Amino acid sequence: MEKYILASASPRRKELMALITPDFEIIPADVEEILPEDIYPEEASEYLAELKCRHVSRLYPGRTVIGCDTTVLIDNTILGKPRDSEDAFDMLKSLSGKTHLVITGVCICRDDKLQKFSQISEVEFYELSDDEIREYIATNEPFDKAGAYGIQGFGGLLVRSIRGDYNNIVGLPAARLKRELIAFE
């Protein structure tokens, strides 16, 4: 039996978790990701990470579970995964020429023991033309990603600069998580 459970279906998180340890299995959390109306946008990722983590932890008592959630935040507005091409276009247009935050919330739990944190990175986009946005949407990359882009793929061509942890922007702050797991044990 593996030491850790990663409560995520993300192939990107799986790759990053493998940098920390080979001793984990993937068990996605089957939960409805609904935020309380009064939550601060900066706290959304950590809230959802805890929701996922606790759900899987209840199903696997005695196991150490890691839950994660990544949000893109611009002008105090959360950009989730786009519903369709038009939504993706609007999101990318709102990011064009601006700096936004990428926040990954992480929760580690085993039974009643719980530890959580958020990692924040800043991403600045180039000024994007409508054609450039449409060309990127045509790659189909934006549709399963918060903020409608993936920095590790074609979306990296939209990025002027980053400040912070690159892996956090991908979806898992691996360096910090490794340290947090050591402290958790």
DSSP codes, the chain = --SEEE----HHHHHHHHHH-S-EEE----------TT--GGGHHHHHHHHHHHHHHHHSTTSEEEEEEEEEEETTEEE---SSHHHHHHHHHHHTTSEEEEEEEEEEEETTEEEEEEEEEEEEEPP--HHHHHHHHTTTGGGGSGGG--TTTGGGGGEEEEES-HHHHHT--HHHHHHHHHHH-
90 is catalytic: no
60: left (phi over 0), alpha (psi -120 to 50) or beta: beta
**Catalytic residue (one of 23, 38, 69, 90):** 69
Catalytic residues: 69
